[in-house]
Structure formats: structure tokens, C-alpha cells
Amino acid sequence: MSMEDKICMITGANSGIGKATVIGLAKLNATVIMVCRNKERGELARNEIITQTGNKNIDLFLCDLSSLEQIRKLVAEFKEKYQNLHILINNAGVMLKKRILSVDGFEMNFAVHVLAPFLLTNLLLDVLRKSAPSRIINVASAAHKRAKMDFDDLQSENKKYRLFTVYGISKLAEMLFTYELSRKIDGTGVTANAVHPGVVNTNLGRDQSKFSQWFARKFFKSPEEGAQTSKYLASSPEVEGITGKYFVNKQPKQSSEESYSLEYAEKLWKFCKEMTKLNIYQD
């Protein structure tokens, strides 16, 4: 299988699942755009990937995805250089022990897991549609299954901050966004699916206790294992045209009952549209 004629963009691409996904697609000869926050770490990862795969068509774009302004700048820079985009993988993630606000004033989990994919994807939809058939892949988490949406407290202001609760809510919102997106773009030749990579040992756990980090190294999946389903959704002809699904271990699975709520999906879409001041995509 070759992806020689495909252009792929992956966020959070310099480490963990993102880097492993870049390597997997680079080995298939795809042109891969790495979106990274840190220039030094991004360039180091890019050089390692080129050396490892022999694929020189690996590009680096810098963007702090917690900043709406930087996302808009990223898209403008991308469109200046590229006319097509076949695969968009919203992979970047955070997991913070305390409540931190983005530069725009949003709780960081929500900013990176929900608002960033929402804005980036919508701003790139024109290129994705022009490049169809194309695919959008959102790296979600099974943590969404334990979460409940609270639209009166999407920024986790009113309750005590609990990491896994807040993280799970942001991932449930990401599922709702994925399903609503798939409905809005149905028939355009662009598909949108979510993936649970498994419980993976990544840099997201760097702020956890030493015991938690040791446990993750010993018992969790490697980034390479965690990247397999993202790579599959990006490259396999078997999933051409499949949209609005939640994949685990390369298989479509049921997500939580709440993730299928049309009411919640529409409410979240409206909220994200207002918060990002998105005006190019008409409902």
C-alpha cells in the first residue's frame, strides 16, 4: 500500500502517538505535515523521522493549539504552501493536574481537545472537500464513557477540579463534535471518525507521580501500538466512505449513550462556533 499522492496533517506530532503515526504514514510514502508547539522538539522529531523512514516529504508547522489566533495563523500558512489535504488527524492532547486557562481564557483540556479540533477542522474543510475523498480522524478516549456533559460548567469553574473528570468531559465533547461534524459534511466526500488508541504510555503522563509513570511504562500500550488504529483509518481502503464511527483496535464500536445525543451535539456546536468566532461555515 502506498500513500505517495496523499498529504496528511497530524497535530501533536513530535512525540507519543502523534510521532508514531507520522512514522507509520511516512513509511507509506505520504507527505506528512507535523503540527508541533515547540520548534526545537519538532525539528528533532522531524529529522529522526526522515532518517528512520527515508521519506524527506515531512514538513513542520509550529502552532500552540490552545491559541485560537495561532490556529488561524497555521491554516493561513498551510494554505499558502499547499493546495490539497487528504488526511487530518486531530491528535494533540493535554492532561493537567490543576486547572489552567488558555491564552483565550478557556480551560486547557477543553481548549485543546474541543475548540482546537473544531476551529482547525472547520478552517480546513474547504481544502479537504476540494481534495476528496479525504478523511478526518479525531483521537478521542474511552474516558468519555464515564463523563456527563454539564453545559452550565463547560470550563470547570463551579466544581472542584478533578483531572480525570475534566479530561473525560472534554473527550465526550470531542465525540459529540465528531458525530455532528460527520452529519454536517455527509455527502461531501469527506469522512469524520473518532478513535480510542487504548491506554498508552505517552508524555501526557509526565506530570503524574513517579509510581504512575512506572506503572504506565510497564503495563500500558506503547505509542507505536496506540497509533495503529489512527494509521489504519488514515490509510486503509477498507474504511473508504465510512463516517461517523468510533473505532477501537481497528473495529467500529459503540460509544457512550450520551455521545449520540443530537441535542447535546447541536448545543456544543453552537457553543464552539460562538467561542471561536467561526463565521466561514454556515449550518
Active site residues: 167
Query: Does residue 131 sit in helix, strand or coil?
Result: coil
Within the chain, strands assigned E span 7-11, 31-36, 58-62, 87-90, 134-139, 190-196, 246-248, 251-253
C-alpha 110: how far from chain center: 12
Grid coordinates 522529531 are at which residue? Answer: 45
Query: With the C-alpha atoms ordered 228, 234, 235, 238, is the resulting torsion angle positive or negative?
Result: positive
Report d(CA 172, CA 90) in Å as an integer: 15
Q: Are strands 31-36 and 58-62 parallel, antiparallel or unpaired?
A: parallel
Cell output for 216: 504506565
Report d(CA 69, CA 66) in Å as an integer: 9
Cell output for 36: 508541533
